Amino acid sequence: MNIRLNERPYDASPGATLFALRDAVKPDADVVILNGAAMRGDASLADGDEVCLIRRGETPSADELEALMAARHTPGVHARVKGAAVGIAGLGGLGSAIAIALARMGIGKLILADFDVVEPSNLNRQQYFVDQLGLLKTDALAANLRRINPYVALELHAVRLTPDNLTPIFGSVNVMVEAFDRADQKVMILQTFAVNRPDIPLVAASGLAGFGSETTIGVTSIGRNIHVVGDLETAARPGWGLMAPRVGIAAHMQANVVLRLLVEGRTT
């Protein structure tokens, strides 16, 4: 009888039951899921059933987690994602959310840079916690990412980015993400990559402030390798600051552009 066990093919004995399978394969599992439903009682298994056995609080091995992700993504897509390195400049509202989305996707490596620490004002839109106030953003985000996916390789740079150190830090990535707040920093990274690494796709953002319509946020491509998410107009001002919903929409759109570039083979 052919079933799927924790997203992998499994040959179960004819007449097998759910709890007999658990006892034989993972007797310490305290959550037993059959075809998407958590089961409290035993049940007979049928050809094509999908079973997931979970022990609460247990971290799956790297092979187990990869099998789960590959099954969800399809192996070809997962292989491209796992083999990629993505750089993120700035770990605020955009960068922290983009990093989390990419880690959940199973990206192979993240190169993260930000000189700043977590401040109370960051908590309205950035992916940090109250007990992380005062920590370097690189360290705080790394801790959060390792809780989500401990097998993503992380390279951390707690430095202020400049035209001189951008290329040494990020010159080997497949896709570069600009996630700065300030306009002058955005211009700096665009100019630096245009001169030093024009072959690396750059995914930037501009025009995210406030609580206006989400439908104004789009993706504008400039040439082959520059992609800008946002409405390109809406800047922060008194009464119209950076807020979680629009920043989050833009961050996930940036992450989706990264994914699309990787899967479509439009990277270095």
Looking at the structure, tell me whether residues 46 and 80 fall in a common domain.
no
Confidence band for 74, pLDDT divided at 50, 70 and 90:
confident
Domain assignment of residue 69, yes or no: no
User: How many structural domains does the chain have?
Assistant: 2
**Which pLDDT value is given to residue 266?**
83
**Which pLDDT value is given to residue 231?**
84
**Which pLDDT value is given to residue 156?**
98
Domain assignment of residue 41, yes or no: yes
Flag whether pLDDT at 170 surpasses 80: yes
DSSP 8-state secondary structure symbol assigned to residue 180: -
Looking at the structure, tell me whether residues 94 and 214 fall in a common domain.
yes
The label of the residue with tokens 């690494």 reads: 197
The CATH code of the domain that includes 41 is 3.10.20.30
Task: State whether residue 159 is helix, strand or coil.
Answer: coil
The CATH code of the domain that includes 215 is 3.40.50.720
Looking at the structure, tell me whether residues 85 and 188 fall in a common domain.
yes
Which CB contacts under 8 angstroms, 24+ apart, belong to 42-47? 42/17, 42/18, 43/17, 43/18, 44/15, 44/16, 44/17, 44/18, 45/1, 45/3, 45/12, 45/16, 45/17, 45/18, 45/21, 46/1, 47/1, 47/2, 47/3
Confidence band for 30, pLDDT divided at 50, 70 and 90:
very high
Looking at the structure, tell me whether residues 160 and 208 fall in a common domain.
yes
Domain assignment of residue 268, yes or no: no
Domain assignment of residue 18, yes or no: yes
Looking at the structure, tell me whether residues 159 and 80 fall in a common domain.
yes
**Which pLDDT value is given to residue 73?**
84
Which is higher by pLDDT, 155 or 206? Answer: 155
**Which pLDDT value is given to residue 81?**
95
Looking at the structure, tell me whether residues 242 and 131 fall in a common domain.
yes
Flag whether pLDDT at 235 surpasses 70: no
DSSP 8-state secondary structure symbol assigned to residue 117: B
What is the distance between the alpha carbons of residues 248 and 127, in angstroms, rounded to a whole number?
10
CB atoms within 10 A of CB 268: 13
Domain range for residue 254? Answer: 75-263
Domain assignment of residue 66, yes or no: no
Flag whether pLDDT at 145 surpasses 80: yes
pTM: 0.88
